[in-house]
Amino acid sequence: MLQKPIFVYNNWAAYDELSDNVELSETLAMRQLEELLRLRSIGIRFDYYLMDAFWYAPEGGYRTWRRPHWPQGPGRWLDACLANEIKPGLWLSGNTLCKLDPAPEWQDSLDAGGGGMCFFHGGFFPHLLETMRLWYERGVRMFKLDFLWFHAAPRTLQRTLLPSEIYAQNVAALQSGLKDLRQQCPEVVLLGYNGFEEAETMSKTDLPFRKTVDTRWLEALDALYCGDPRPSDVPTMNFWRSMDLYSDHMVQVYEQNGFPLPRIDNAGFMIGTTGTCYYRGTSAWKGMLILSLARGGWVNVYYGNLELLSDEQARWFAKAQSLFLRLQAYGRFTTFGGIPGQGQPYGYVAQDAKGAVWTLVNPAQSVNTIVLPGAKKGRLLFYDAGYQPTLDGNHITLGAEQMAVVGVGYYNSTAFDLGQQNDVTIPVSIKPYPAHFHPVGDREMRAIVPAPEHGCLRIVMRQKDKVGQAKRSTGGAPPDGVTLGQLFKMTAEQDGQAIDVRVNYDKAIWSGLSWAVGEIPAGVLVPGSSVTIRCSTADTMEVTLACELYQVVYSVKHGNHTT
């Protein structure tokens, strides 16, 4: 098991063959290795380079590499990693067939549907373990196990065993086999991804905490991830902040399930030019990086296109990473405050004998003051632009949707200043704006309000199912998916003229979205004159809509800019 924090580059999001059509190739993989080495030379720490999905030939049983994408196989990549003291890692699709044909040795393990293999019967698992040992001998030191299906069993076993018995025996076989592998390959790092949890666990952030993940996996795996980055069910004008809230909420879900923070892989840092990260590029990347570090996991994974980070950005990255590295290695991390998925202010405290670093988030559509329990005089190290957070003793006041970092004790120093996140702009004031939304048919809500004297009108719409839980809609993944702006519509009209409503959620979102937020910019409305606002959904399921209005004011310096 891990004895210290590690830092992993994963090349997923630099390519994407599930939510996009950008294929993995040797050229792409080597380009990212060159960028990794450039960033490392500036000060960013990388220990591993994990080759994600679809490196393998469909017919090769994970022992050969796909052609023509890898004309000479993996030798050039493996050798370059090892020569530069970077440990290689490989993605494996657990026991399911993901763009993979069953090898001859796997045939007697195939389940009735032909899509997965049984761990406790037939030749699949012994062959897989031997494959992992072979790659270990080639220098591979990490395996990412994804898309597990513990109900897989041949038809003959389905006739004689209960589904619960099949599940239990698959789990026991995998745990036992991984423990044996660890004994034979003592430097191996094993990461668990999709399939180790109840399916619904990662799909919503408005469910009550309950037992959904088995802590016995900690005996076989170094860390379990808690979900691919996606928007939460908390509406935000800043789309990327809702994604931060998703990862923060899932960390709390796993923590409530009994997982120590160091063993939770939050998978929260993903920059890139593909559909899996909604073509994010580097939008709001600084806050995303800080939160990924502040969550306290020992497996720190960075996904995507490393070339998007300039040398100057890399120096900032290295400074933020070094601040949390010592704390991860020698300090103690705890969560505090409310529940992210319920829109309550929350945060993390990382402390050692010298002091503490507090990372705080206010997800609400209101200014809120957060108490830092036990904290003494602190220094504001980082915050989103726009609203100026205020520190008063152990109290900090944050604007709507704002995050900040505070240093206490040894960390109350200009040496740790990280500045502002200028591509996230928080309004200097926000307050509810009186409005009565009434239904028009079963798919639209409408309100008529007088235009405010100043500021913007922020519109918030939530979509729920018939039992009151968040209901996500999706038009499919990029590049062919329907964007959410076509499914969730927000329109405004004044004196017969259409008024622009600015939104940031108009993306093809593979994971779905349960809300919409938009703003009518300041200066485009005639104050006092009536404005008609319409919010609608194209979801054909039985849903209900709830809408709210807020009057928001941005500083003159930042105008109406939002992300």
Considering the domain architecture, whether residues 415 and 450 belong to the same structural domain is answered as no
Give the end of a domain, one of 330, 346, 371: 330
Residue 133 lies in a domain: yes
pTM flag (> 0.85)? yes
Average pLDDT over residues 337-345: 96
329 vs 240, 287, 332, 358, CA distance in Å? 28, 21, 9, 17
Instruction: Grade residue 538 by pLDDT with cuts at 50, 70 and 90.
Output: very high
Asked whether residue 316 falls in the same domain as residue 415, the answer is no
> Is 560 domain-assigned?
no
Percent residues over pLDDT 70 in the chain? 99
Secondary structure of 111-153 in the HEC alphabet? Answer: CCCCCEECCCCCCHHHHHHHHHHHHHHCCCCEEEECCCCCCCC
294 and 181 within one domain: yes
Average pLDDT for 181-207 = 91
> Which residue, 363, 396, 426, sits at the end of a domain?
426
**pLDDT value at position 280?**
97
Domain assignment present for residue 482? The answer is yes
Q: Which two tokens stand for residue 462?
A: 């939530």
Residues 385 and 489 in one domain: no
Within a domain: 563: no
* Cis peptide upstream of residue 439 (ω within 30 degrees of 0): no
Over 70: is that where the pLDDT of 563 sits?
A: no
Q: Please tell me whether residues 413 and 498 are part of one structural domain.
A: no
Band of residue 560 on the pLDDT scale cut at 50, 70, 90:
low
pLDDT digits (tens, 9 = 90+) for 373-395: 888 889 999 999 999 999 999 99
Angle at Cα 129 formed by Cα 48 and Cα 171, nearest 5°? Answer: 100
What is the domain count for the chain?
Answer: 3
pLDDT tens digits for range 134-183 = 999 999 999 999 999 999 999 999 999 999 999 999 999 999 999 999 99
Q: pLDDT, tens digit, for every residue of 409-446?
A: 999 999 999 999 999 999 999 999 999 999 998 899 99
Range of the domain at 469: 431-553
pLDDT the model gives residue 140: 98
Residue with tokens 């941005």: 554
Do residues 422 and 358 share a domain? yes
| pLDDT at residue 320, rounded to an integer | 98
Q: Which of 426, 455, 474 delimits the end of a domain?
A: 426
**Residue written as token pair 């709830």:** 546
pLDDT at residue number 477: 87
- In tens, the pLDDT along 463-476 reads 999 899 999 999 99
CATH number at residue 484: 2.60.40.1780
Residue 419, classed as helix, strand or coil, is: strand
Which of 112-116, 135-139, 543-547, 559-563 is predicted with the least confidence, judged by mean pLDDT?
A: 559-563
DSSP one-letter string for 338-364: S-GGGT--EEEEEE-SSEEEEEEE--S
User: DSSP readout, 473-503?
Assistant: B-B-STTTSBPHHHHEEEEEEETTEEE--EE
Over 60: is that where the pLDDT of 191 sits?
yes
Q: Is the separation of the CB atoms in 97 and 115 below 8 Å?
A: yes
CATH code: domain of residue 381: 2.60.40.1180
Average pLDDT on 282-299 reads 98
Predicted confidence (pLDDT) per residue in 230-268, tens digit: 999 999 999 999 999 999 999 999 999 999 999 999 999
- The answer to whether residue 559 is domain-embedded is no
Q: From edge to edge, which strands make up the β-sheet containing 355-361?
A: 332-337, 346-351, 355-361, 403-409, 378-385, 419-425
347 with 242, same domain? Answer: no
419/314 same-domain check: no
Query: Residue 559: what pLDDT?
Result: 60
**Using the 8-state DSSP alphabet, how is residue 386 labeled?**
S
447 lies in the same domain as 418: no
Structure token pair of residue 153: 């069993």
Place of tokens 């296109």: 305
CATH number where 197 lies: 3.20.20.70
358/317 same-domain check? no
Cβ count within 10 A of residue 23: 12
Average pLDDT over residues 351-356: 95
Separation between Cα atoms, residue 288 and residue 298, nearest integer Å: 17
Q: Give me the half-sphere count of Cα atoms (radius 13 Å) on the Cβ side of residue 155.
A: 4
Q: Supply the pLDDT for residue 322.
A: 97
Is 562 within a domain?
no
| Length in residues, the chain | 563
DSSP label of 307 = G
**Residue 88 β-bridge partners:** 49
Asked if the structure places residue 558 within a domain, the reply is no
- Residues 130 and 211 placed together within one structural domain of the fold: yes
CA distance 220 to 94: 14
Structure tokens at 515: 């809300």
Secondary structure of the chain: what % helix, strand, coil (to 5)? 25, 30, 45
Whether 135 and 235 map to the same domain: the answer is yes
Mean residue pLDDT of the chain comes to 95
